[in-house]
Amino acid sequence: MSWVEMKVRGLREEAEGILGLELCSVSGDGLPFGWTPGAHVDLQMGSGLVRQYSLTNLAEEGCLRLAIKREPESRGGSQWLHEQLRLGTRLQVGTPRNLFALQPGTSPVVLAAAGIGITPLLAMYRACRAQQRPVHLYYFSRSPVHSAFLDQLQSQPDVSLFSGLSSAEIAQQLPGLLAGRQPGSQLYSCGPHGFMDCVFESAIVAGWPRDVLYREHFQAPLQLADAPANQAQAVQLMLTKSDKQVAVQSGETLVAAAARVGVEITTSCGMGMCGACMTRVVSGEVDHQDQYLSDAERASGMWIMPCVSGCSGNELVLDL
Ligand code: FES
């Protein structure tokens, strides 16, 4: 991932507590990158934080569109964006990455969103419509005023909107909505983890194969964000490029240990999901705890995500 400076070209209230943001290139020219539905970008806040947000639009539009929910427990990310952004504000934006890609093809697509989980699914919905691919979007929100993008969605025959339902009521609705799967259909879900679990459980009961169920991964559970899987045992960390070494303490991340000897590892999510901290391993046995690397990358022994992963031996040598 690399960083690009972009400019705020549009701001609007998408729903109560949800800020719609449009970013364009500083020069006004087209964007130097593309993306596919389900992609997200990293935004650098002025406060130094980096947060990930899904793109709601298609690359052909030549700008980035995002929707940012103001989180009551925000540690400075969404709160900063809601309070500080103005038209013309410049932001450092990471080039888009996709951990939740819409699978290519023509098979029918079912989308199940709750709350701000509508954002990547809106891009998928629009892509399916543009490709004339069969799609149906189920969107659950707290109330009509908390429902984003209603102007685009409420009159569409392939969209079902639900608001004001309790978790138990949603759980009652889902089996009926997911019954009668068309052959080849794929199911994508994004929203709170309890919601996605419920969608998948209902789908499996309704006969959906597991390998056609897709869910957003970069929105880690809050407890994971607050407590990354730290090194379980003490290990000696050697950093070849900077010629430093440090004893990683039990309960400490490799990123934190490296920082103690002045070696900053770029991080973004801090949860093993975004890929920002991917580092080459020189030697040592990695205890992989991330959700970013492929099985082949893990098996190669060449890579580690040091924000969450550790070492199962006594010594780890990294190319830092
Ligand atoms: S910082 Fe995101 S994977 Fe490590």
**Same domain, yes or no: 130 and 84:** no
* Position 125 in a domain: yes
* Position 40 in a domain: yes
Mutate which of 44, 279, 307 to test ligand 1's pocket (most atoms within 8 Å of Cβ)? 307
pLDDT greater than 50 at residue 228: no
Nearest CA to ligand 1 atom 3: 272
- Residues paired with residue 280 on neighbouring β-strands, in sequence order: 303
**Which residue type, as a one-letter code, is found at position 317?**
V
Give the whole-number percent of the chain exceeding pLDDT 90: 71
Last residue of a domain, one of 42, 61, 94: 94
- DSSP-derived letter for residue 97 is B
| Nearest atom (ligand 1) to Cα of 272 | 3
How high does pLDDT run on average in the chain?
A: 89
pLDDT greater than 90 at residue 72: no
Average pLDDT on 121-136 reads 98
| Nearest atom (ligand 1) to Cα of 275 | 3
pLDDT greater than 60 at residue 62: yes
Last residue of a domain, one of 180, 215, 250: 215
CA 187 to ligand 1 centroid distance, Å: 27
**Same domain, yes or no: 113 and 190:** yes
Mutate which of 219, 305, 309, 318 to test ligand 1's pocket (most atoms within 8 Å of Cβ)? 305
**Same domain, yes or no: 252 and 274:** yes
* pLDDT tier, 219 (very low <50, low <70, confident <90, very high otherwise): low
CA 81 to ligand 1 centroid distance, Å: 21
The reported pLDDT for the residue numbered 292 is 78
| Nearest atom (ligand 1) to Cα of 269 | 2
CA 49 to ligand 1 centroid distance, Å: 13
The reported pLDDT for the residue numbered 49 is 76
**Same domain, yes or no: 188 and 128:** yes
* Position 26 in a domain: yes
Structural domain total, the chain: 3
Last residue of a domain, one of 171, 192, 215: 215
* Position 101 in a domain: no
The reported pLDDT for the residue numbered 297 is 84
CA distance 196 to 205: 14
The CATH number given to whatever domain includes residue 72 is 2.40.30.10
The CATH number given to whatever domain includes residue 175 is 3.40.50.80
* Position 129 in a domain: yes
Name the pairing type of β-strands 18-25 and 64-69.
antiparallel
CA 290 to ligand 1 centroid distance, Å: 8
CA 85 to ligand 1 centroid distance, Å: 25
pLDDT greater than 50 at residue 227: no
The reported pLDDT for the residue numbered 217 is 66
Average pLDDT on 143-159 reads 95
**Which residue type, as a one-letter code, is found at position 2?**
S
The reported pLDDT for the residue numbered 223 is 35
* Position 99 in a domain: no
**Same domain, yes or no: 134 and 84:** no
Q: 184-212 pLDDT, tens per residue?
A: 999 999 998 889 999 999 999 999 999 99
Average pLDDT on 160-181 reads 94
CA 308 to ligand 1 centroid distance, Å: 8
Mutate which of 50, 266, 269 to test ligand 1's pocket (most atoms within 8 Å of Cβ)? 269
pLDDT greater than 60 at residue 226: no
CA 50 to ligand 1 centroid distance, Å: 11
**Same domain, yes or no: 58 and 147:** no
pLDDT greater than 80 at residue 233: no
**Same domain, yes or no: 208 and 160:** yes
More confident residue, 156 or 44: 156
The CATH number given to whatever domain includes residue 245 is 3.10.20.30
CA 224 to ligand 1 centroid distance, Å: 12
* Position 252 in a domain: yes
Residues with CB under 6 A from ligand 1: 267-270, 272-277, 290, 292, 305, 307
**Same domain, yes or no: 81 and 124:** no
**Same domain, yes or no: 120 and 192:** yes
Per the CB < 8 A criterion, the answer to whether 237 and 297 are in contact is no
* Position 268 in a domain: yes
* pLDDT tier, 47 (very low <50, low <70, confident <90, very high otherwise): low
**Same domain, yes or no: 68 and 142:** no
CA 218 to ligand 1 centroid distance, Å: 10
CA distance 206 to 187: 12
Q: Which domain holds residue 48?
A: 3-94
CA distance 106 to 184: 9
**Which residue type, as a one-letter code, is found at position 185?**
S
**Same domain, yes or no: 160 and 187:** yes
pLDDT greater than 60 at residue 224: no
Per the CB < 8 A criterion, the answer to whether 17 and 66 are in contact is no
| Nearest atom (ligand 1) to Cα of 266 | 1
The SS3 call for residue 302 is coil
**Same domain, yes or no: 170 and 117:** yes
Per the CB < 8 A criterion, the answer to whether 290 and 269 are in contact is no
